[in-house]
Amino acid sequence: MTLSDGSRPALDESLAPIAALQRALSAEFDRDARGPRVAAILAEYTRLHDDWRAFAHFAPDRYTRNLVGRTAAYELLVLCWDAGQSSPIHDHAGQNCWMGVLEGRIEEVQYELPPRGFVGPLRRLGARVYEPGKVAYISDDIALHLVRPAHGRRGVSLHLYAQPIATCHVYDEATGLVLPRELTYHTA
């Protein structure tokens, strides 16, 4: 795969694909902390590989966050969604977030970030459905969002946070109430 600048993502074919992905991400963040090539690197991985399945663990009562790798620069997780499960509406603690769809179709619903002290319903901005191999990006400057599998089916997504996120804020859609949430892993 060739990137728009004519270069190729640095996926090392001598490594297991997910290990090569992590090495390429580390090199990208070492090169530029903003990670301008991250979406292309993730898209290539999501289209070509399935060794992520070793990290795919589902739970009947909630979506799961399964840690693949964590460095000072990023955190990489496989999120597993059964039908009817969704994340709460949340921010990303000031970090950048990329989501690659691995299996199924994943819906992202975006909401306007309310001003401090706001009371009332959140304003929905829109929704998008992403197919396998597609990569989405969000930051707090863009919007809040919730993520879920589309059309009542199961889905799996690959999430990259630059830098790791220990705590985020969740929002109540009807009241705008904001609560801190400590983030945990289902498997690590």
In this predicted model, which residue has the larger pLDDT, 65 or 4?
65
pLDDT at 2: 36
| Distance in angstroms (rounded) separating the CA atoms of residues 79 and 61 | 14
Q: What pTM was estimated for this model as a whole?
A: 0.90
pLDDT tens string 23-67? 999 999 999 988 899 999 999 999 999 999 999 999 999 999 999
* Domains of the chain (ranges, CATH numbers): 56-182 (2.60.120.10)
With a CB cutoff of 8 Å and minimum separation 6, the contacts of 114 are: 120, 122, 123, 171, 176
> How many angstroms separate the most distant Cα atoms in the chain?
54
pLDDT tens string 94-151? 999 999 999 999 999 999 999 888 889 999 999 999 999 999 999 999 999 999 999 9
For residue 74, pLDDT over 60 is answered with yes
